[in-house]
């Protein structure tokens, strides 16, 4: 009965299987958490998606920006972007089933018993757990309902870049989604910066990582996230666990065992 959290796979199915061997994953007993961005950019997105789906209730995967983009392309609302490796999924006989499964994934998962929360990019510095759960649910409800296609059409864009409780409509849902799935750095005034992807060392313009913002309302939570390969797994911040170690870029794929926070990484150089 072990729970492992695994970083961004981005279609690196062979690397995932090798990592699962290395941690001696027991599908009957163990549970896997994924930080999202299961697919795209890497070579085996279809296999990855089918495998994670097959884990059923022995897994939890939160939605990442690449997963949401795949939904938009998969439902024919968006053209493929340069670098997308989604052809096998788009041509798969079970495409519809896979897309339907994917749109039912959450943006945030919190396990009170284990004491961990997982998201793809992060939780806005001024959101408490209760607030974050409520906001995630707003987007999840739309994605699972009749408004799904409209949402996927309206989801793209960087504005509004500052959360305000009185946001409404698509602006509100886009702003929530960008915080959970694309955020890395914030400006001192709380706006999110969505293009700078560097390391924590001397970022420009007074930027700070979302988890380094002062008076963070969720600093008591243990938060697991992915999305940010440049961190190479290190946040230098208690209770904040970065697990994207750049598998798709040939670096590493990382699993963390929640029971003791022990990490296992495999090199993705040869996959």
Cβ distance to Mn ion smaller for residue 30 or 247: 247
Q: Does 184 bind Mn ion (CB under 5 A)?
A: no
Q: Which is nearer to Mn ion, 9 or 30 (CB)?
A: 9
The nearer residue to Mn ion, 64 or 246, going by C-beta atoms, is 64
Binding to Mn ion by residue 59, rule CB under 5 A?
Answer: no
Member of 30, 37, 44, 84 binding Mn ion (CB under 5 A): 37
- Interface positions, 219-238, toward Mn ion (CB under 5 A): 227
Write down the least CB distance from residue 66 to Mn ion, Å: 6
Binding mask 86-105 for Mn ion (x = CB under 5 A): --------------------
In the complex, least distance from residue 246 CB atom to Mn ion, rounded to whole angstroms? 11
Residue 174 near residue 163, CB atoms below 8 Å: no
Nearer to Mn ion by C-beta: 8 or 30? 8
Q: Which stretch binds Mn ion (CB under 5 A): 40-48, 64-72, 152-160, 205-213?
A: 64-72
- The residue written with tokens 């700070």 in the block is 208
CB of 222 to Mn ion, least distance (A): 20
Which residue among 40, 47, 65, 245 contacts Mn ion (CB under 5 A)? 65
Rounded Cα gap, residues 206 and 221, in angstroms: 25
CA-to-CA distance for 74 and 78, rounded, in angstroms? 8
Q: By CB under 5 A, name the binding residues for Mn ion.
A: 37, 64-65, 227
């Amino acid at each position: 009965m072990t729970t492992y959290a695994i970083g961004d796979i981005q279609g690196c199915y062979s690397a995932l299987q090798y990592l699962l061997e290395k941690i001696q994953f027991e599908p009957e007993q163990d549970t896997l958490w994924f930080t999202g961005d299961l697919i795209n950019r890497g070579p085996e997105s279809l296999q990855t998606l089918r495998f994670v789906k097959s884990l059923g209730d022995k897994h939890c995967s939160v939605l990442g920006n690449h997963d949401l983009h795949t939904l938009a392309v998969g439902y024919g609302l968006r053209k493929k972007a340069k670098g997308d490796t989604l052809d096998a999924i788009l041509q798969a006989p079970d495409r519809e089933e896979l897309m339907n499964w994917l749109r039912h994934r959450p943006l945030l998962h919190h396990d009170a018993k284990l004491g961990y929360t997982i998201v793809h990019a992060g939780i806005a510095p001024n959101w408490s757990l209760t607030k974050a759960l409520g906001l995630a649910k707003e987007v999840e409800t739309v994605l699972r309902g009749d408004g799904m296609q409209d949402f996927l059409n309206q989801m793209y864009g960087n504005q509004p870049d500052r959360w305000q409780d009185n946001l409404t409509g698509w602006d509100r849902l886009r702003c929530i989604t960008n915080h959970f799935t694309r955020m890395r750095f914030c400006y001192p005034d709380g706006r999110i910066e969505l293009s700078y992807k560097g390391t924590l060392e001397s970022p420009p313009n007074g930027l700070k990582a979302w988890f380094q913002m002062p008076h963070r309302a969720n600093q008591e939570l243990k938060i697991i996230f992915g999305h940010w390969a440049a961190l190479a797994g290190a946040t230098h911040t208690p209770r904040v666990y970065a697990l994207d170690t750049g598998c798709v870029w040939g670096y590493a794929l990382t699993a963390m065992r929640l029971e003791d926070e022990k990490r296992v990484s495999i090199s993705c150089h040869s996959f």
